[in-house]
Structure 1
Amino acid sequence: MTLRKPGLVAATAVVLALTATACGGGGDSGSDGEKINIGIKFDQPGLGLKTQDGEYTGFDVDVAKYVAKELGYDEKDIVWKEAPSGERENMIANGDVKFIVATYSITDERKERVDFAGPYFLAHQDFLVRADDDSTWNKDELNTKELKLCSVTGSTSAQNVKNKFAQEADLQEYGGYSECLTGLENEAVDALTTDDSILAGYAAQKEHQGKFKLAGLSLSDESYGIGLKKGDTELQKQINDALAKMVEDGSWEKAADKHFGPADYDYEPAPEITEKS
């Protein structure tokens, strides 16, 4: 059937409106196969990793998939977005993603710009050192050592160690943990500092086994939350409900065992959900 000009204009307007809706950064309802953009890390083994064959794996990835499913999205509808530590708040505020699951520690400073659901995991800051390092690591003595430390720009670990434990350390901040790991292996730095969950994932990788070890420090409690747009209380509740269900039906523990078990990492039980509006 041939459309007259007024009808054609109206039809075009409808198509453009639908296209704009479908291309929205975060995505809306998944009931009709619409896409949802979710932020994760691409370089954290055991948590959020993009493999060489283009697959996405890790505990955070499994949590994100479970939450997306409870929101009505099939796995095929997920568009994974890399969420570097220093860009997470901007990605959420700009609508580039619906939510972020990326070892995202809940802090008061971050809550000024974004809201969180959860927490869904509790980690502790530690040091990763070379396996042949015979130093005695004690958090009360870190300032007595001439340390070259590495962490990632925008992470709470970098701020925490510099402000509280090793003010005199030479702290180098790189864009990604892989760069820190290379520096540690090449002896350009003495230790990589971040959450023990992240460090355990790196140490457990096949190519790294036997090269590194955790120092055994517990410098902080890091409660991982799912970051979302500030003021979106409906989404916050939906995600919290999904996380509670994941724990209740055993999926949380199954995912934790799958990804942390090979590293012999003694992870904490699922934490109580506290981020509610």
Structure 2
Amino acid sequence: MRINRPLRIAAGLAALAVVATACGGNEERSVSSSSEGGKLIVGIKYDQPGLGLRNPDGTFSGFDVEVAKYVAGQLGVSEENIEFKEAPSAQRETLIENGEVDYIVATYSITDARKEKVGFAGPYFVAGQSLLVADGNTDITGPDTLAGKKLCSVTGSTPAQKIAEEYPDVQLQPFDTYSACVESLRNGAIDAVTTDDIILAGYAAQYPGELKVVGEPFTTENYGIGLAKDDTDGRNQINDAIEEMVASGAWEEAFNETVGASGYQLPAEPVVDRY
């Protein structure tokens, strides 16, 4: 029997769809299935000293990295079987929704808007938004002193959104990364950088005598571990891992070995909220 051309095309397209599905496509990942397979892809920041930093030799260091590794270990995946992937602020939800990562540990504040798209375990840390300025700056002491100033934050971040909504007199200049903001601050192109205090402390420690954190934190940021929205099993497993990290003392040890060098004081231990 002769098959007409339209039917042959339709059959071919169907076959391609099957192949694409078999190859993964943009399917939502599952923490459980990935960990059972012995490998995990984890999103982190590459440019945040003390938190998530890609070192010149290609290794990774920081508190977020240590949290990511501890969680992986609790899931049965050894450090050498973790693939770290850069997760810029504006791309975090996309990386999760496209199935490019299993979970993200990248100073990722839990918000209602983000929970519409992704799931969260945690929090594993509680920070607060603050300001970074040149060491000799005496004009800027808090958000109420920013009117008319050039302030840098990162596109897609909660600090940038906070400033845009509540401090309209500020000249907000969003960049792709905080490291780019810091370089602009160092060369005098902007007056200040805003993000969470723990992030800024790392940059201040990187440039001692040149940069400083000023003012009291003016928000509360609950850092969560982002994963696929409907991955309930994965979220529960990661929450268990965070609780174990805190209870065992590994959380405090990781903090002291990473962020502690900046002079940032050890905060209260986080209490996991089963979102």
Same fold (TM over 0.5): yes
SS of 1:127's equivalent in the other structure is: strand
Deviation string 1:23-53 (CA, Å, 9 cap, x unpaired) is: x885734456x32100000011100000010
Alpha-carbon distance, 1:261 to partner: 1.5
The answer for the alignment partner of 1:142 in structure 2 is 145
The answer for the alignment partner of 1:212 in structure 2 is 211
Alpha-carbon distance, 1:146 to partner: 1.6
Unaligned stretches of 5+ residues in structure 2: 1-18
Cα distance in 1 for partners of 2:239, 2:108 equals: 15
Cα distance in 1 for partners of 2:173, 2:197 equals: 19
Is the CA contact 1:25–1:97 (under 8 Å) kept in the aligned structure 2?
no
Cα distance in 2 for partners of 1:30, 1:162 equals: 40
The answer for the alignment partner of 1:4 in structure 2 is none
SS of 1:129's equivalent in the other structure is: strand
The answer for the alignment partner of 2:184 in structure 1 is 183
Cα distance in 1 for partners of 2:244, 2:114 equals: 26
CA RMSD of aligned residues (A): 2.0
* Aligned match for 1:125, one of 126, 129, 132: 129
The answer for the alignment partner of 2:153 in structure 1 is 151
SS of 2:129's equivalent in the other structure is: strand
Alpha-carbon distance, 1:227 to partner: 0.3
Cα distance in 1 for partners of 2:257, 2:171 equals: 36
Cα distance in 2 for partners of 1:84, 1:267 equals: 26
Is the CA contact 2:260–2:266 (under 8 Å) kept in the aligned structure 1?
no
Is the CA contact 2:133–2:213 (under 8 Å) kept in the aligned structure 1?
yes
Query: Superposition pairs for residues 181-260 of structure 1, below 5 Å?
Result: 181-205=182-206, 208-260=207-259
SS of 1:220's equivalent in the other structure is: coil
* Aligned match for 1:60, one of 55, 58, 64: 64
Cα distance in 2 for partners of 1:137, 1:267 equals: 23
Cα distance in 1 for partners of 2:222, 2:234 equals: 19
Matching residue's letter, 1:101:
V
Is the CA contact 2:74–2:241 (under 8 Å) kept in the aligned structure 1?
yes
Alpha-carbon distance, 1:178 to partner: 1.1
Alpha-carbon distance, 1:20 to partner: 4.6
Cα distance in 2 for partners of 1:100, 1:191 equals: 27
Cα distance in 2 for partners of 1:138, 1:188 equals: 19
Misfit runs of 4+, over 4 Å: 24-27
Alpha-carbon distance, 1:80 to partner: 0.4
> For structure 1, which segment, 210-219 or 105-114, has the greater mean C-alpha deviation from structure 2 after superposition?
210-219
Matching residue's letter, 1:161:
I
Matching residue's letter, 1:152:
V
Give % identity. 48
Unaligned stretches of 5+ residues in structure 1: 1-15
The answer for the alignment partner of 2:262 in structure 1 is 263
TM-score of the aligned structures, taking structure 2 as reference length = 0.87
Alpha-carbon distance, 1:275 to partner: 3.2
Matching residue's letter, 1:212:
L
Query: Superposition pairs for residues 74-89 of structure 1, below 5 Å?
Result: 74-89=78-93
SS of 1:238's equivalent in the other structure is: helix
Query: Superposition pairs for residues 17-56 of structure 1, below 5 Å?
Result: 20=23, 26=29, 28-30=33-35, 34-56=38-60
Cα distance in 2 for partners of 1:148, 1:136 equals: 11
Matching residue's letter, 1:55:
T
Is the CA contact 2:119–2:227 (under 8 Å) kept in the aligned structure 1?
yes
Cα distance in 2 for partners of 1:245, 1:30 equals: 18
Cα distance in 2 for partners of 1:146, 1:267 equals: 34
Cα distance in 2 for partners of 1:267, 1:154 equals: 27
Change (3 A) 1:254 1:179: same
Is the CA contact 2:28–2:228 (under 8 Å) kept in the aligned structure 1?
no
Deviation string 1:177-226 (CA, Å, 9 cap, x unpaired) is: 11101110111110000000100011112xx1110000123110000000
